[in-house]
């Protein structure tokens, strides 16, 4: 036993010595504190691998925050992951070409309020959920939007099943944990004649077999409304006049570290063939003089601004205006 303890100490010492030119004592302390915050545990080899990644991410965050940007980065539950690892676990891995060129949303000519936030209008937006390590963001964007439109129509806010969409919506060009699109999910719900509640079909963060029970359907879609490709003012019109709107866009490496402020990027594309994440616009406004969307994410309430983020509005930032949609509920 004593030999094993000595051997372990030697191994730890060798690792620490090999890291010392790269990782400071302060950075190791920050990593251990972060581990306690997010309840992370590793085997010895994994510990040093994750320490190295964490340190690189922390330095990137600090460098960004020292510059002149509209948004800040911060440590979160993803800070021990490379972007490649993050992308495989949390983003759409199947290619999504998401837009109908001509939508069926009929815009008015305004005028529109300077700001709208459906969270402040009443009990119309469900709490932030957490998709876990499954590229099912599209299902959370779908349920979030349908939950809101039903609440606006009935004054009753349901909690709907993401797992049913993961398991059952493949015929509508969706791929479970590998990706899909809200517009296609709304079509599935319409033709399937219903979506069950979260309580009756709970989320598992993995692909499964379809267990839909028609007699337990809790929500129904009458029509699917697509907003014309790249018509960002059409999105403003829909959010101002009707309800929150689902949209997809491209996440690049800096976004996984977002903390607050208005996100903008010079790295992401503004075309529909690069989108890899779907979310829910619950409002719009300005933040520090920059027009922005108020967006509900599905990475839990400890990411970003209590699970939300702001992204620059009016520039089709990261392709966000390429494929936006919302359902008309059957109530």
Measured between alpha carbons, how far apart are the two ends of the chain, in Å? 69
**Catalytic hit among 268, 297, 318, 323:** 297
What are 254-272's pLDDT values in tens digits? 999 999 999 999 999 999 8
**135 in Cβ contact with 92 (< 8 Å):** yes
Query: What average pLDDT does the structure give for the chain?
Result: 92
Domain membership of residue 1 (yes or no) is no
CB burial of residue 156 (10 Å; 0-12, 13-18, 19+): exposed
Mean pLDDT of 193-207: 98
Q: Where are the beta strands (DSSP E) in 64-197?
A: 71-73, 116-117, 195-196
Query: Domain containing 242 — which CATH number?
Result: 3.90.70.10
| 137 tagged catalytic | yes
pLDDT of residue 92: 87
Domain membership of residue 37 (yes or no) is no
Domain membership of residue 24 (yes or no) is no
Domain membership of residue 28 (yes or no) is no
Domain membership of residue 310 (yes or no) is yes
pLDDT of residue 8: 38
pLDDT of residue 18: 45
Rg (CA), the chain: 22
| 268 tagged catalytic | no
Q: How many domains does the chain have?
A: 1
What are 287-310's pLDDT values in tens digits? 999 999 999 999 999 999 999 999
| 297 tagged catalytic | yes
| Angle of CA points 13, 17, 18, to nearest 5° | 120
Q: How confident is the model at residue 103 (pLDDT cuts 50, 70, 90)?
A: confident
Domain membership of residue 267 (yes or no) is yes
Domain membership of residue 32 (yes or no) is no
Among candidates 190, 148, 132, 130, which has minimal Cα distance to 165?
190
Q: Which domain holds residue 244?
A: 86-329
**Catalytic hit among 98, 134, 137, 177:** 137
Distance, CA of 105 to chain centre: 24
**Catalytic hit among 57, 174, 277, 318:** 277
Q: Where are the beta strands (DSSP E) in the chain?
A: 71-73, 116-117, 195-196, 217-219, 221-226, 245-249, 258-263, 277-287, 290-296, 308-312, 325-329
Mean pLDDT of 93-117: 82
Domain membership of residue 30 (yes or no) is no
């Amino acid at each position: 036993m004593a030999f094993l303890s000595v051997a372990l100490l030697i191994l730890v010492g060798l690792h620490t010595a090999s890291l010392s030119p790269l990782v400071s004592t302060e950075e190791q302390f920050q990593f251990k504190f972060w581990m306690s915050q997010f309840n992370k545990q590793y085997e010895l080899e994994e510990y040093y691998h994750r320490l190295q990644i964490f340190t690189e991410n922390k330095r990137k965050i600090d460098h960004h925050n020292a510059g002149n940007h509209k948004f800040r980065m911060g440590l979160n539950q993803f800070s021990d992951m490379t972007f490649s690892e993050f992308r495989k676990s949390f983003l759409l891995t199947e290619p999504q070409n998401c837009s109908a060129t001509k939508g069926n949303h009929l815009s008015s000519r305004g005028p529109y309020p300077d700001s709208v936030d459906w969270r402040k209008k009443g009990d119309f937006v469900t709490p932030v959920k957490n998709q876990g390590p499954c590229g099912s963001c599209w299902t959370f964007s779908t349920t979030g939007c349908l939950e809101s439109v039903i609440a606006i129509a009935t004054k009753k806010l349901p909690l709907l099943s993401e797992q049913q969409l993961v398991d059952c919506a493949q015929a509508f060009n969706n791929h479970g944990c590998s990706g899909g699109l809200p517009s296609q999910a709304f079509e599935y719900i319409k033709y399937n004649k219903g979506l069950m509640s979260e309580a009756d079909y709970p989320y598992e963060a993995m692909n499964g077999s379809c267990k839909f029970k028609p007699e337990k359907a809790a929500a129904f879609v009458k029509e699917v409304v697509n907003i014309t490709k790249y018509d960002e003012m059409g999105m403003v019109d829909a959010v101002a006049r009707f309800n929150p709107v689902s949209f997809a866009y491209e996440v690049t490496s800096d976004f996984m570290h977002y903390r607050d402020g208005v996100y903008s990027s010079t790295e992401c594309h503004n075309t529909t063939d690069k989108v890899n994440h779907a979310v829910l616009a619950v409002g719009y406004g300005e933040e520090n003089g920059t027009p922005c969307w108020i967006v509900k994410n599905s990475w839990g309430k400890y990411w970003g601004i209590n699970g939300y983020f702001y992204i620059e509005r009016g520039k089709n930032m990261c392709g966000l205006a390429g494929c936006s949609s919302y359902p008309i509920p059957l109530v």
